[in-house]
Every structure is written in structure tokens, then in C-alpha cells.
């Protein structure tokens, strides 16, 4: 993201994706409706945090859940527990898994685990990919939706077959459900039904829900009890976590029933992008509220086009552009509340201008 594009997007009144600007208002909104007399949690103990953990466990259909300040901490700990239980340091996950590309080798350096990559980086994991894994593997991580390939999802039947195949080989199966609730409109089942397939699950509160930070790790009682010990070892038991908990509960409650609408917005905008010259989306038809859009122009050229739209029409279409191949670029869009604030006529102007400028390149 260039400084010019970033500045233009910050100044724009309207944002195509997301829930709006991340600022102190996200926390202030949550606390405006909280009871100031509620006692704070202390080192992971207290109704403020334990009540929310129980609510999340019930929602996910698991016996227990633990609140963490970050998903990075939660997932590394979850996989460590399954590996220790199996007496095997090997875990399997997709080449674009968050643990592999965004966590500075934390799983290897902190826990001395040995990840093996399964499948190709540009598609979902298949049964054939799983069959090619070495033995033994303690745990398989499955991400729903698969963020780095545009939020793609397997069919529910394919998901069941994949999990069954992993279990047949003695693996535990962990769900990277950072964006789990965004998948429910597509699967048309409850979160608990999906989580029932998995031994453990992680859910984020700042991604689709737009909260400040925080996550839960859910699973069996002995698993979560051990996770609490590891949480202390990692320094995750802050004196109080209630600012994250209050915000998580508030923003989740406000948005959990909007995921279907967000998905519809993603489909509508993807259809518009796919009509532009030299532009396509992955997936072509989004299966959740996110997708990736690809432009057949150099990053600097596309950034200039987007900066112009932001300044002239007061709409931030995309705030961050990444190179793709030698001559193209791409961006990720994840839809939330902000889209509905854009006047319909203004959105038409945005895509008319994009079509005109891209056709002239």
C-alpha cells in the first residue's frame, strides 16, 4: 500500500469493504452499553470472562472454551497440546496457513513442532493430498474459509470426507475458524454442526466481527484446562482481559446475524468487478463475504486509479494492492457494515469510472 493510496483511503467518507475505520470508537461503542459496576476478571478468573467462555462453548457445541488475547497464541497452543498427547511433533496444514506465512516460524521455534504442507497453495486440500502425507501426523488443521485463496470453501460433504479420512489415520482435526461465522450462510448449518466435525476450534473476534482483538479456543474439558496452563506460560493471562471480552461480546452480538447480508454484498460487488476489462475475482462467485480481485495492470498503475477514485468520488474501493505475477496485481475484499452506507448511485459512478480508466490503459 503506497502512502498516497493509504492517505486517500483514510480520508474517504465511504469504504467498499469492512466495518469502517478501526479507531477508539470500536471500543467506546462497546463500553457505552456495558455496566460500569461489573467486576473485572483477574488472571482469567471472573464472570466477565468465564461467562463469555461458557457462552462461546455452547455456541460452538464444545464442552469448554478459553478466551485468548490472540489467535496466534491460541492455535499454536492447541496444536502443541494435540502433538504432546500423540507423542508426535508433526502437524499438517495448507501451504497458505496463517501459522506458515504470518507467524515468523512460531510453531517451530517456540514449540519445536514439525509442520508438513498438504496440497497446493492455489486450491483447497483434497483427499488425494491427504493420502500423500507421511505417517505419523498428530493433527490436521483445516481453515474455513481459506483466506489466502479468496475465501474458498469445500462443500460440506467434501469437508466431512476430508475429516473422516484424517481420523481414519489417527489424526486429531483442528479448525482454524477465524472466520467461521462467515461460512454459515453458505453451509446453511449451525456453527455447532460444523464444529462437531472437529476436535478443537479457534474463532477470532476482530475479523468478521470487527472487534478490537481476542479469540477463543474450544474443545474438550481436559484440552481447555491444559490450554489455560499454556496461556499462562505464554503470558496471555493479562491481569484483566475484560476490554477485549466486552468488545468481543458487543460486536459479535451486533453482527452475527448479518453474515448472510455481507455475503450478498460480496456477490454483488464481485459481479461488478468481473464486468471490468482485465479484471476477475477468485472465486468468480464468492461463497462467503470475502474474495480476491485480480487486475491485469501493474500495481503502481492500479494504485493511481484507486487513489483517483477515492479522491474524486470519496469512496475507498481497495486500500491495499499486492503484486501478482510479473505484470498484474491483486487485492482482498471482506464485506461488512461499511458497504451499506454507500449510496447506490455513487457506487454506480465508482464502477463506471473504474471501467473507463481501465479500458483506457
Q: Are residues 126 and 268 in the same domain?
A: no
In a domain, 33, yes or no: no
Phi, psi at residue 259, to the nearest 5°?
-65, -35
In a domain, 249, yes or no: no
As for how many domains the chain has, the answer is 2
In a domain, 253, yes or no: no
Q: Are residues 67 and 12 in the same domain?
A: no
In a domain, 194, yes or no: yes
The string of pLDDT tens digits covering residues 114-166 is: 999 999 999 999 999 999 999 999 999 999 999 999 999 999 999 999 999 99
Cβ atoms of residues 121 and 95 within 8 Å: yes
- What is the per-residue pLDDT for 1? 52
In a domain, 245, yes or no: no
First to last CA, the chain: 21
Parent domain of 300: 3-22+258-360
- What is the arithmetic mean of pLDDT over 217-241? 97
Cβ atoms of residues 71 and 204 within 8 Å: yes
For residue 106, pLDDT beyond 70: yes
The string of pLDDT tens digits covering residues 16-44 is: 999 999 899 999 999 998 999 999 999 99
| Cell matching residue 361 | 490503459
- What is the per-residue pLDDT for 3? 81
DSSP β-ladder status, 114-117 and 290-295: unpaired
Q: Are residues 157 and 275 in the same domain?
A: no
Q: Are residues 198 and 277 in the same domain?
A: no
For residue 286, pLDDT beyond 80: yes
Q: Are residues 212 and 302 in the same domain?
A: no
Q: What is the domain-level CATH number for residue 103?
A: 3.40.640.10
Q: Are residues 58 and 192 in the same domain?
A: yes
Q: Are residues 121 and 219 in the same domain?
A: yes
Question: Would you put residue 36 in left (φ > 0), alpha (ψ -120 to 50) or beta?
Answer: alpha
Q: What is the domain-level CATH number for residue 270?
A: 3.90.1150.10
Cβ atoms of residues 226 and 83 within 8 Å: no
Lowest mean pLDDT among 22-36, 138-152, 240-254, 279-293: 22-36
Q: Are residues 13 and 74 in the same domain?
A: no
| Cell matching residue 294 | 485480480
In a domain, 244, yes or no: no
DSSP β-ladder status, 279-282 and 215-219: unpaired
Amino acid at each position: 500500500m503506497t502512502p498516497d493510496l493509504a492517505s486517500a483511503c483514510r480520508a474517504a467518507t465511504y469504504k467498499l469493504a469492512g466495518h469502517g475505520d478501526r479507531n477508539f470508537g470500536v471500543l467506546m461503542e462497546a463500553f457505552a452499553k456495558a455496566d460500569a459496576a461489573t467486576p473485572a476478571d483477574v488472571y482469567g478468573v471472573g464472570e466477565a470472562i468465564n461467562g463469555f467462555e461458557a457462552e462461546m462453548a455452547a455456541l460452538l457445541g464444545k464442552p469448554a472454551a478459553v478466551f485468548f488475547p490472540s489467535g496466534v497464541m491460541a492455535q499454536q497452543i492447541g496444536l502443541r497440546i494435540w502433538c504432546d498427547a500423540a507423542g508426535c511433533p508433526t502437524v499438517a496444514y495448507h501451504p497458505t496457513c496463517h501459522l506458515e506465512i504470518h507467524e515468523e516460524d512460531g510453531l517451530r521455534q517456540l514449540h519445536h513442532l514439525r509442520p508438513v504442507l498438504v496440497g497446493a497453495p492455489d486450491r483447497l486440500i483434497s483427499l488425494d493430498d491427504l493420502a500423500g502425507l507421511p505417517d505419523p501426523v498428530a493433527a490436521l488443521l483445516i481453515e474455513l474459509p481459506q483466506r489466502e485463496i479468496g475465501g474458498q470453501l469445500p462443500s460440506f460433504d467434501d469437508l466431512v470426507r476430508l475429516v473422516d479420512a484424517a481420523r481414519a489415520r489417527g489424526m486429531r482435526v483442528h479448525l482454524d475458524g477465524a472466520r467461521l461465522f462467515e461460512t454459515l450462510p453458505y453451509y446453511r448449518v449451525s456453527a455447532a454442526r460444523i464444529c462437531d466435525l472437529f476436535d478443537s476450534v479457534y474463532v477470532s473476534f476482530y475479523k468478521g466481527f470487527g472487534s478490537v482483538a481476542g479469540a477463543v479456543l474450544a474443545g474438550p474439558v481436559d484440552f481447555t484446562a491444559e490450554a489455560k496452563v499454556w496461556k499462562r506460560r505464554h503470558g496471555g493471562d493479562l491481569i484483566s482481559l475484560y476490554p477485549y471480552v466486552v468488545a468481543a461480546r458487543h460486536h459479535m452480538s451486533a453482527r452475527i446475524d448479518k453474515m448472510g447480508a455481507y455475503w450478498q454484498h460480496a456477490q454483488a460487488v464481485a459481479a461488478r468487478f468481473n464486468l471490468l476489462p482485465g479484471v476477475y475475482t477468485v472465486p468468480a462467485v464468492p461463497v462467503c463475504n470475502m474474495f480476491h480481485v485480480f487486475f491485469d495492470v501493474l500495481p503502481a498503475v492500479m494504485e493511481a486509479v484507486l487513489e483517483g477514485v477515492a479522491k474524486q468520488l470519496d469512496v475507498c474501493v481497495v486500500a491495499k494492492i499486492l503484486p501478482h505475477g510479473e505484470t498484474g496485481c491483486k487485492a482482498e475484499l471482506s464485506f461488512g457494515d461499511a458497504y451499506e452506507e454507500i449510496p447506490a448511485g455513487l457506487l454506480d459512478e465508482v464502477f463506471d469510472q473504474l471501467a473507463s480508466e481501465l479500458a483506457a490503459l
